[in-house]
Amino acid sequence: MPADASSSPLHLWAPLAWLPDGWREHVVARAGEDGRWAEVTAGVTTAPPGAQVLDSPLLPGIVDAHSHAFQRAFVASAETRDGAHDDFWAWRERMYAVALRISPAQLRAVAAHLYLELLRGGYTHVCEFHYLRRKVDGSDYADPLAMSWALADAAADVGIGLTILPVLYERASFAAALRDDQRRFRADARATVDAAARIRAAARPLVDAGVAVHSLRAASAESIAALRALVDGVEMPIHIHVAEQTGEVDECVRATGRRPIEWLAREGVLDERWQLVHATHANADEIAAVAASGAGVVVCPTTEANLGDGIFDLPAWLGTPVPIALGSDSQATRDWREELRLLEYAQRLVRRARNVAAAPELGVASSAERLFARAVTGGAAAAGQRSWGLVAGARADALVVDVADPALRGVAARKMLDALVFSSPTLPWKDVIVAGRWRIRAGRHKSAAAIARRYAKAIAALSGSATARPS
Enumerate the active-site residues: 278, 329
Residues whose CB is less than 8 angstroms from the CB of residue 147 and which lie 6 or more positions away in sequence, other chains included: 104, 107, 130, 132, 133, 141
For the purposes of burial, counting CB atoms within 10 Å of the CB of 46, is it exposed (0-12), middle (13-18) or buried (19 or more)? Answer: exposed
For the purposes of burial, counting CB atoms within 10 Å of the CB of 25, is it exposed (0-12), middle (13-18) or buried (19 or more)? Answer: middle
Q: Name beta bridge partners: 177.
A: 171
- CA 329 to CA 67: how far, in whole Å? 4
- CA 356 to CA 354: how far, in whole Å? 5
- CA 356 to CA 107: how far, in whole Å? 39
Preceding amide of 57 cis, omega within 30 = no
